[in-house]
Structure 1
Amino acid sequence: MFEKLIDSFEKLCLQIIIEILLVPVTIYKLFKEPHRCYDFAVQEMEKEEAERFLDYLSPIKLSVYTSVIVSVLLMDYSGEHNFISRIKGLSMVEKALFIFMMNNFTAVAFSVILLGYKKEKVNTITFRTLLFSFIYTTVYTSTPFFILILSAMFLGQTVNVQSYLNHLDQLSVSGNYGSRDYFFFIIFIVFLIIGIIGLIKLFKALHYILKENLRYHPYMIWFFTLLFFLIQVYYARGFV
């Protein structure tokens, strides 16, 4: 009994390690080619369930890891409050679940809209394909912020990112910047560049998904692409 428990724990740990390693691989593939948000979902849904998402992380798991990381970063440190910490009485797991639901609200909404257009039911492969595709597109808004926040944590040697940003505000008055502070400014420039690239990739990914599922005039596809893009960016700014 004990040996079976140890074996199960070993498999769980190994699975978690593999999935964590697949996070950067998946992000890289999606950043390289935006159309993969939809193509990956289509290809995987055509496979048997046991064979799906072996070479990269599934969109649901990717979103779960993202939500957990954000819930940790946005915890209430040193009495400083933020949006998530104002949700009184919630544990880190509950906060992660809340963030997961809010981050994927646009994915669910977009999928339902397209499903209505295609006149299909929710419990179909089409819905899961669309949902997976739209969840994958959140990579383009979340990745730049993770780079910036994790860099601030590393350079400031604290999980309280806000305290390091306050430290930078104080240095802006005195002008006594250290090597780590200059390195952070370089990271910030990288964040801006990747952020702009991410927005372009997001627009391309949304356009590709809509082009594959809508049969309206091209101008209508561009219109809905822009509409979905603006809505997703609006929600991303508050929950990423």
Structure 2
Amino acid sequence: MFEKLIDSFEKLCLQIIIEILLVPVTIFKLFQDPKRCYDLSVHEMEKEETDRFHDYLSPIKLSVYTSVIVSVLLMDYSGEQSFISKIKGLSMVEKALFIFLMNNFTAVVFSILLLGYKKEKVNTITFRTLLFSFIYTTVYTSTPFFIIILSAMFLGQTVNVQSYLDHIDKLTASGDYSVRDYIFFIIFIVFMILGVIGLIKLFKALHYILKENFRYHPYVVWFFTLLFFIIQVYYARGFI
């Protein structure tokens, strides 16, 4: 009995480690080609359920892991104020659930709208494919912020990014920068570059999903792509 328990625990730990390692792999693959948000979802949903998402992390698991990571970063360390005051005071699990639901809200809404246009029911492969595709697109807005938050946490010993930026502003007058400050400058530039690339990739991914599922005049597809893009960026701004 005890050996079976140990074996089960070993398999669970191994599975978690593998999935954590698949997080950067999946993000990298999605950043390489935004079309993969939809193509990967379609390809995996064509397989048997037990054979899906072995080489990449499923969008649901990816969203769960990123939500947990953010919730850990938003814990109240030594009285440090969280930069997202809307969820201050919640436990780590409550924060993770809140972030998971908020990050995926637009994916659910967009999927339902397209499902209504295609006149299909919610409990179909089509809905899951669309939902997975839109969840994958959140990678483009969340990844740059993960980098800046982690950098501020490890280099500035704070989870409050704005507090660390204020610290940098105060040093500007005196010019008394440390090595950590210079490293953060470099990472901040990378954050800005990735942010711009992410927005471009997000627009391309949304356009590809709509083009494959929204059979209207190209101008109409471009219009709804822009509309979905603005909604997702505006919504993500407050909850990433």
* Category of TM-score, reference length = shorter chain: over 0.9
Query: In the alignment, residue 70 of structure 2 is paired with which amino acid?
Result: V
In structure 2, C-alpha distance between the alignment counterparts of 1:23 and 1:206, rounded to whole Å = 21
CA deviation profile, 1:202-229 (whole Å, cap 9, x unmatched): 0000000000001111000000000000
**Other-structure match for 1:189:** 189
**Other-structure match for 1:140:** 140
Query: In the alignment, residue 44 of structure 2 is paired with which amino acid?
Result: E
Q: Which moved more, 1:219-228 or 1:72-81?
A: 72-81
Tell whether 2:118 aligns with 1:131: no
In structure 2, C-alpha distance between the alignment counterparts of 1:86 and 1:59, rounded to whole Å = 25
Q: CA deviation at 1:173?
A: 3.3
**Other-structure match for 2:219:** 219
Aligned length: 240
Q: Alpha carbons of 1:83 and 1:153: their partners in 2 closer, same or farther (altered >3 Å)? A: closer
User: Within 5 A, what are the aligned runs for 1:97-108?
Assistant: 97-108=97-108
CA contact (8 A) 1:75 1:85 kept: no
**Other-structure match for 2:15:** 15
The RMSD of aligned alpha carbons is 1.6
Q: CA deviation at 1:157?
A: 4.1
**Identical counterparts, % of pairs:** 85
CA deviation profile, 1:151-178 (whole Å, cap 9, x unmatched): 2222224555555334323323322111
Structure 1: which 5+ runs fail to align? Answer: none
User: Within 5 A, what are the aligned runs for 1:80-159?
Assistant: 80-82=80-82, 84=84, 86-87=86-87, 90-159=90-159
Using the size of structure 2 for normalisation, the TM-score is: 0.95
Question: Secondary structure, in 3 states, of the residue corresponding to 1:63?
Answer: helix
Q: Alpha carbons of 1:171 and 1:134: their partners in 2 closer, same or farther (altered >3 Å)? A: same
Tell whether 2:210 aligns with 1:210: yes
CA contact (8 A) 1:84 1:95 kept: no
Question: Secondary structure, in 3 states, of the residue corresponding to 2:109?
Answer: helix
Q: Which moved more, 1:139-148 or 1:109-118?
A: 139-148
Query: In the alignment, residue 237 of structure 2 is paired with which amino acid?
Result: R
Question: Secondary structure, in 3 states, of the residue corresponding to 1:72?
Answer: helix
Structure 1 stretches of 4+ moved >6 Å: none
Q: Alpha carbons of 1:162 and 1:73: their partners in 2 closer, same or farther (altered >3 Å)? A: farther
Question: Secondary structure, in 3 states, of the residue corresponding to 2:79?
Answer: coil
